[in-house]
A and B are shown apart, each in its own frame.
Chain A
Amino acid sequence: MRGPAGRCPNCTSPIRFRWSSAVQTTCDACRSVVVRHDVDLETIGEVSDLPVDDSPIQIGTEGRYDGKSFTVIGRIAYEYEDGGWNEWHLVFADGTSGWLSDAQLEYAVSMLVEPTSAPPALDRVRLGQEYSWRDSTLTVSTLTTARYKGVEGELPFEYWGKDDVLFADLRGHDATFATLDYSDGDPILFVGRFVEYDDLALRNVRSFDGW
Chain B
Amino acid sequence: MVNAPGTPRTRGFNCANCGGAVELRALAHTRSVTCTTCGSLLDPRDPNVVILQEAARRESITPTIPLGTRGTWHGQPYEVIGFQRRSITVDGTQYSWDEYVLFNPFRGFRYLTDYQGHWNDVRTIRELPVVDTRSNRPTATHDNRKYTHFQHAQATTDFVIGEFPWRVTLGDQVVTDDFVEPPYMLSSEGTEQERTWSLGTYTPGETIWKAFGLPGAPPEPVGVFANQPNPYKKGANAGCTAFFVLFGLLVALFLLRMITADRERVFSSSYTYQPGAPEASFVTAPFTLSDDGTISIEIDANVSNNWLGFDVALINIGTGTAYNTDKELEFYFGTEGGESWTEGSRSGSMFLPSVPAGEYYLRVEPEGPAGIATGYTLRVVRDVPSKLPYAIALVCLLFLPFLTGWRSGWFEQKRQAESDYGSSSSDDDDDDED
Contacts and interface: CB of A to CB of B under 8 A. Distances in A.
B133 interface: no
Contacts of A82: 31, 166-167
B145 interface: no
B9 interface: yes
B108 A208 contact: no
Contacts of A175: 126-127
Contacts of A208: 6-7, 9, 27, 105
A56 B167 contact: no
A173 interface: yes
B129 A105 contact: no
B28 interface: yes
B106 A172 contact: no
A3 interface: no
A127 B108 CA distance: 26
A52 B7 CA distance: 11
A146 to B, nearest CB: 15
Residue of A105, A108, A196 contacting most chain B CB atoms (<10 Å): A105
Interface in B2-37: 3-4, 6-9, 11, 27-29, 31
The majority secondary structure among interface residues of chain B is loop
A108 B105 CA distance: 17
Contacts of B1: 58-60, 204
A210 B9 contact: yes
Contact of A106 (B4, B8, B108, B129): B108
Nearest to B11: A52
Contact of B106 (A105, A139, A174): A105
Interface string B156-176: 000000000111000000000
B225 to A, nearest CB: 27
B252 interface: no
A157 interface: no
Nearest to B196: A141
A104 B109 contact: yes
Contacts, number: 89
Contacts of A51: 28
A93 interface: no
A53 B31 CA distance: 12
B165 A104 contact: yes
B432 interface: no
Interface residues of A, number: 37
B128 interface: yes
A22 B105 CA distance: 30
Residue of B1, B4, B28, B166 contacting most chain A CB atoms (<10 Å): B1
Contact of A173 (B3, B28, B130): B130
A211 B8 CA distance: 10
A161 to B, nearest CB: 23
A97 to B, nearest CB: 18
Contact of B127 (A59, A174, A204, A211): A174
A105 B103 CA distance: 10
A211 B34 CA distance: 23
A58 B1 CA distance: 9
A171 B128 contact: yes
Contacts of B127: 171-175, 194
A29 interface: no
B3 A83 contact: no
B7 A205 contact: no
A171 B31 contact: no
Closest 9 A/B residue pairs (Cβ): A105-B108, A60-B1, A54-B27, A54-B28, A210-B9, A207-B6, A208-B105, A209-B9, A209-B6
30 contacts: A52-B11, A52-B28, A53-B28, A54-B28, A54-B29, A56-B106, A58-B1, A58-B3, A58-B4, A104-B165, A108-B126, A141-B128, A141-B194, A172-B127, A172-B128, A173-B128, A173-B129, A173-B141, A174-B127, A175-B127, A196-B107, A204-B3, A206-B3, A206-B4, A207-B7, A208-B6, A208-B27, A208-B105, A211-B104, A211-B105
Interface of A: 51-54, 56, 58-60, 82-83, 104-106, 108, 127-128, 139, 141-142, 171-175, 177, 194, 196-198, 204-211
